[in-house]
Structures are given as structure tokens and as C-alpha cells.
Amino acid sequence: MKVRRQKRILEIIKNSQISTQSELAEELTQAGFKVTQATISRDIKELRLVKVSQGDNSYTYGLPKGQIPVRDNHRLRRMFREVVLSIEYSENLIVIRTLPGNAHGVASLIDGVDWADLIGTVAGDDTIISVTRPKEVTEEVVQRLRSLME
């Protein structure tokens, strides 16, 4: 739920000018999320959102320049420890099994690590397929992913 809510927050601030936590809470409520001010505050901190000047003495929530929150290695490790069940591979394909309902959140975090040899991911409900290039690096990428579970 948290991963989906935070993903929705990023979509909201990308597509709307949100100036206050109350406005953000209202948007999340309309999207079907039950939130408190404390939850919003924690999400803003975890996503590292900042107030960005709009040039007319107004400010809206946004991301710091050059920052993508999914590159947070602590969050990536936490997700791997909590929801990843196994990691297997064949050729240049890596199959990651998660607890049901968690594959999309984990795949999004994997896409955010920006490893040059990892092309991308496709996620179902509890299974992720990641593609590497060249295939000779697949075992090394698997070891890096497995180390996140430790």
C-alpha cells in the first residue's frame, strides 16, 4: 500500500501544482487512499520532496533537481529483505519472485538503480523478469540483487 501511495504522490506532484499537505491529502483521498497528515509528512520526507518556486511567489511540491527517489538504496534493500523470495536466471533473463502484490514496487526500484547492464524489468503480481545486456554480466547482476536480500 505504501509503495502504491508513494507512486501516486509522485504522479500527483508531476501532473498538478500541489502547494500544501492538505491539498496532497485531498488528492490522495480522491484517488482512494486513506491518509493522515502524519502519513503525508512521512511520505514527503521519504520521497525527499521539496518546495519548488514557481516564480510568482508561489511554491509547489516537487523533486530536487536531478533526484529520483527510487534510487534510495536503503529503501531498495528494505524491500528486497521484506518481499523478495527468490532470484534465478537463465541467459540474460533474471526471474525474481516476490510476495503476492509486490512485484511492481520492487521492479520500479530495480529500474531506478540505473545499472548500465540492466536494461529493464517487466512485473506481474508476484514475478519480475529483468533483462541484462550483455548476457555475460547476468550472473554478476544476480549476485548484486541477491546481496540486497542480506
- Domain spans in the chain, listed from the N-terminal domain onward: 2-66, 70-147
- As a 3-state breakdown, the chain gives helix, strand, coil percent values, each rounded to 5, of 50, 20, 30
CA distance 117 to 105: 20
Top-level class of domain 2-66: mainly alpha
State the pTM of this model.
0.56
Is residue 79 within 8 A of residue 104, CB to CB? The reply is no
Block residue for cell numbers 529503501:
75
Q: What is the mean pLDDT, run by run of 10 residues, along the chain of 150 residues?
A: 88 91 94 92 86 84 63 79 96 96 88 84 95 94 94
Residue partners of 38: CB distance under 8 A and separation at least 6: none
Distance (Å, whole) CA 67 – CA 36: 26
The pLDDT score that the predictor gives to residue 54 is: 81
Amino acid at 57: N
What's residue 65's pLDDT? Answer: 64
pLDDT attached to residue 45: 85
pLDDT at residue 133, rounded to an integer: 92
**pLDDT value of residue 69:** 46
pLDDT value of position 72: 58
With both helix axes pointing from N to C terminus, report the angle between 2-15 and 21-30 in degrees, rounded to the nearest 10.
110
Tell me which of 3.40.50.11810, 3.30.1960.10, 3.30.390.30, 3.30.1360.40 is the CATH number of domain 70-147.
3.30.1360.40
